Amino acid sequence: MTMSRIKAPPVARIGDPLAAVSTPALLIDLDAFDANVAAMAALAQRHAVALRPHAKAHKSSTIARHQVDAGAVGICCQKLSEAYPFISAGIRNIHISNEVVGPRKIEMAMDLAHQARISICVDHSAQVDALGKAAADANVFLTLLPEVDIGQGRCGVASTRDLLVLVERIARYDRLRFGGLQAYHGGIQHVASWEQRRVAADVAAEKAAQYVAYLDALGVPCPVVTGGGTGTVEFDMRTGVYTELQPGSYIFMDGHYGRNEWPGEWRSRQSLYIASTIMSTAKPGMAVCDVGLKGVAVDSGLPLVKPGQYEDVLQYVAANDEHGMLKIAAGGLQERLGDQLLLVPGHCDPTVNLYQQYICFRGHKVEDIWEIDARGLSQ
Amino acid sequence: MTMSRIKAPPVARIGDPLAAVSTPALLIDLDAFDANVAAMAALAQRHAVALRPHAKAHKSSTIARHQVDAGAVGICCQKLSEAYPFISAGIRNIHISNEVVGPRKIEMAMDLAHQARISICVDHSAQVDALGKAAADANVFLTLLPEVDIGQGRCGVASTRDLLVLVERIARYDRLRFGGLQAYHGGIQHVASWEQRRVAADVAAEKAAQYVAYLDALGVPCPVVTGGGTGTVEFDMRTGVYTELQPGSYIFMDGHYGRNEWPGEWRSRQSLYIASTIMSTAKPGMAVCDVGLKGVAVDSGLPLVKPGQYEDVLQYVAANDEHGMLKIAAGGLQERLGDQLLLVPGHCDPTVNLYQQYICFRGHKVEDIWEIDARGLSQ
């Protein structure tokens, strides 16, 4: 039997009409995307805060380049391995907004620090010791940002005493530099009420401010306080606490963020969609599309049919592995076999991580195709 | 700025101790995996039923080769693009257990039919027409299996009348061959009670039998009746209705299947794990590991800590994008920073689709690394 390598055809080609894309496909509406990139850059500039977008949301060096070209000081990554494609694409200012543990990770941190300006979070003195010794051996300088817990209850120290332990520990190592604080509260990003979200953001920022004031009183300057997300960014910018902000989802939006109220200074346009095709209409009142659990993350709700398309007629009601079940509203047309449907994912980050490429369209035409080159790099 | 391509280091190397794997990593316990592959092959042989494992579960041509070497007649794929890596690896008997719609899919079906023996499901005469015309143009023969709904309420015709329409339609095209029936009920695979699952499987099989009898009375032979899954396979084998069975998850097991009762002729051993590392212990009573929504699918429940490891002490209680929150039981040791934890995913299929490789171990050593070469091929 011959072992010829044959490859699946491309999902789309530049210049194709959008309707010709092979589904499932992850789409970016470039008009909305460009507007989001520009609006967040302008917002940050208006409030004199540095913008360091979180690349964990898009995992694409092409998008990171767009963000840096629009004025971002660099990017955040959540994992060390995730940083490689961005460095390869010339982005050399990367904050790892997360703790790293274990010899393989320390090795990777040193490798990255040889290639780019890297900062990393710590919340335990053992992490400081491991990075400090490795940095000396590898002859690299590394910036560490202790993470402070400002309400999330996940990583990060929860007392000034524990913060001081870390700051003092960092000072023991010639090759380590204390760079400031990581202060992020993910749990408040999706508080639907704008007013409640504002209050929650202010409470969180006040906690961050207390850590800064504590260090300040000790004569330890805090050059960077980094945090914030898409849900709270308009409030975070006004606090005067954060020197830089890390929104990720703002370029895309999703169903979960879509349930927030946005009457204020920030509202993303929906730019991320999944193209799907109705591939079975054998059941009265139901249609089956080709996007299931392998094509959309459902942890934060099922996908929505794109507003203005069929959303009054079709509702995505259940996801199987490769099938999406759509309920057809009473009076809705049953015969839709082959119709292309655009879906708004419930949660952009883990949905993006399922795909290898963005099919970028403007109007009804495929304008570009961008690799999701950090997809799956979770180490 | 130089644009040198640098690459993330490998997650593991053959010969590494398991403890040295860079996490998150998707692991296969080869002793359990080998036992599952052999046991299902033996079960099928004992009941004189053909085994056509579903490759959508593993998406790896290396695993498909193991299954075929153990006696499988071929494999199932759920999507057309998914079939390419398997054909490249020399597997030339592939059943697409799903409907296909649209010109790009028809084109792909023709391309595949040039390379391998392909059968495809239909549940609408428009699908038959599109495939029939394309097969004539492409000068290939194609086998179609109408899907009959045996209780799932998803794809598939739900009446003998609609089945006959399809069978007659297929007969109009010289290049199409009626190959038999696709009859699968996914909804009953996870009925926890063994007795209730047995009854449900028999009810579903009886529906399939009625379609076969109907065609038989018309003088239309049904060479293949294909269906069944890991949850019902031991019952499906005894019905005499199915000529071949399509279990997928049997090689792996997962948390969802683990909640089924298995007192009968089949029980998989757990072979699939996710290696994780505890990367923060800053909160009393909590630990944070490095496996979140991008490392494990949570649609069918959160991952479980591997039995026998720390499962009495640590419970995975919440998944963020890149973090897993673990509750430490009262009296459990707080200081576990850097501990490696093996997790049992709640749902194997969509979890596998997040990773690029299986890190295969035996005992405590990495023995092999297998590419998940059909990962993300969902078109």
Cβ proximity of B21 and B367 under 8 Å = no
SS3 A31: helix
SS3 A191: coil
Helix orientation angle between A160-171 and A125-138, rounded to the nearest 10 degrees: 20
pLDDT average, residue stretch B325-350: 93
A144 and A282 in a single domain? The answer is no
CA distance B291 to B280: 12
Q: What is the mean pLDDT of chain A?
A: 97
| Two structure tokens written together for A212 | 């800064």
Question: Range of B333's domain?
Answer: 18-26+271-371
pLDDT average, residue stretch B188-194: 97
pLDDT in tens, A178-189: 999 999 999 999
Among residues of chain A, what percentage have pLDDT more than 70? 99
Among residues of chain B, what percentage have pLDDT more than 70? 99
pLDDT in tens, A94-137: 999 999 999 999 999 999 999 999 999 999 999 999 999 999 99
CA distance A348 to A28: 12
| Cβ distance of A22 and B88 shorter than 8 Å | no
Is B336 contained in some domain? yes
Tell me how close the Cα of A140 comes to any Cα of chain B, in angstroms. Answer: 18
CA distance B230 to B52: 12
ipTM over cut 0.90: yes
Interface A-B, measured as beta-carbon pairs within 8 A, has a size of 231
How sure is the predictor about A35, in pLDDT bands with cuts at 50, 70 and 90?
very high
Burial class (CB within 10 angstroms; exposed 0-12, middle 13-18, buried 19+) of B54? buried
The verdict on A97 touching B (C-beta cutoff 8 Å) is no
Centre a 10 Å sphere on the Cβ of residue B281 and count the other Cβ atoms it contains: 24
B176 and B247 in a single domain? The answer is yes
Cα–Cα separations (whole angstroms), residue B339 to A106, A374, B19, B310? 15, 26, 9, 10
Q: Is the dihedral of CA B323, B324, B327, B328 positive or negative?
A: negative
B35 and B172 in a single domain? The answer is yes
> Nearest to residue A366, comparing CAs of B104, B74, B42?
B104
| Cβ distance of A124 and B281 shorter than 8 Å | yes
How sure is the predictor about A333, in pLDDT bands with cuts at 50, 70 and 90?
confident
Q: What is the pLDDT of residue B4?
A: 65
The verdict on B111 touching A (C-beta cutoff 8 Å) is yes
Residues of B in contact with A157 (CB under 8 A): 282
B248 and B319 in a single domain? The answer is no
List the single residue in A2, A87, A282 with the smallest CB-CB distance to B149.
A282
> Where residue B341 sits, what CATH number does that domain have?
2.40.37.20
Residues of A in contact with B23 (CB under 8 A): 102, 379
Cβ proximity of A83 and A118 under 8 Å = yes
| Cβ distance of B376 and A353 shorter than 8 Å | no
Last-in-domain residue among A196, A225, A255: A255
pLDDT in tens, A189-222: 999 999 999 999 999 999 999 999 999 999 999 9
Q: What is the pLDDT of residue B1?
A: 43
Burial class (CB within 10 angstroms; exposed 0-12, middle 13-18, buried 19+) of B364? exposed
The answer to whether residue B374 scores a pLDDT higher than 80 is yes
Q: What is the mean pLDDT of chain B?
A: 97
Q: What is the pLDDT of residue A250?
A: 98
B22 and B82 in a single domain? The answer is no
SS3 B279: strand
Is A196 contained in some domain? yes
Helix orientation angle between B30-46 and B61-69, rounded to the nearest 10 degrees: 40
Helix orientation angle between B103-115 and B125-138, rounded to the nearest 10 degrees: 50
The answer to whether residue B32 scores a pLDDT higher than 80 is yes
Q: What is the pLDDT of residue A1?
A: 43
Query: pTM for the complete prediction?
Result: 0.97
A327 and A275 in a single domain? The answer is yes
Is B202 contained in some domain? yes
How sure is the predictor about B333, in pLDDT bands with cuts at 50, 70 and 90?
confident
Q: How many domains does chain A have?
A: 2
A73 and A93 in a single domain? The answer is yes
Is B160 contained in some domain? yes
B229 and B296 in a single domain? The answer is no
Residues 278-337 of B with CB under 8 A from A: 278-283, 286, 288, 290, 293-295, 297-299, 319-323, 325, 337
Give start and end residues of each alpha helix (H) in A61-159.
61-69, 83-88, 103-115, 125-138
Last-in-domain residue among A255, A277, A295: A255
CA distance A78 to A99: 9
Our CA angle for B206, B210, B212, nearest 5°, is: 115
pLDDT in tens, B306-330: 999 888 899 999 999 999 999 999 8
> Between these two residues, A349 and B3, which has the higher pLDDT value?
A349
Range list of β-strands (E), chain B: 25-29, 50-51, 75-77, 93-99, 117-122, 142-146, 176-178, 180-183, 224-227, 244-245, 272-280, 286-289, 304-305, 314-319, 324-328, 340-344, 357-362, 365-371
B242 and B321 in a single domain? The answer is no
The verdict on A357 touching B (C-beta cutoff 8 Å) is no
Burial class (CB within 10 angstroms; exposed 0-12, middle 13-18, buried 19+) of B193? exposed
A22 and A39 in a single domain? The answer is no
CA distance B38 to B127: 37
> Where residue A92 sits, what CATH number does that domain have?
3.20.20.10
Q: What are phi and psi of B63, to 5 degrees?
A: -70, -40
pLDDT average, residue stretch B145-169: 98
A52 and A100 in a single domain? The answer is yes
Is A293 contained in some domain? yes
A275 and A244 in a single domain? The answer is no
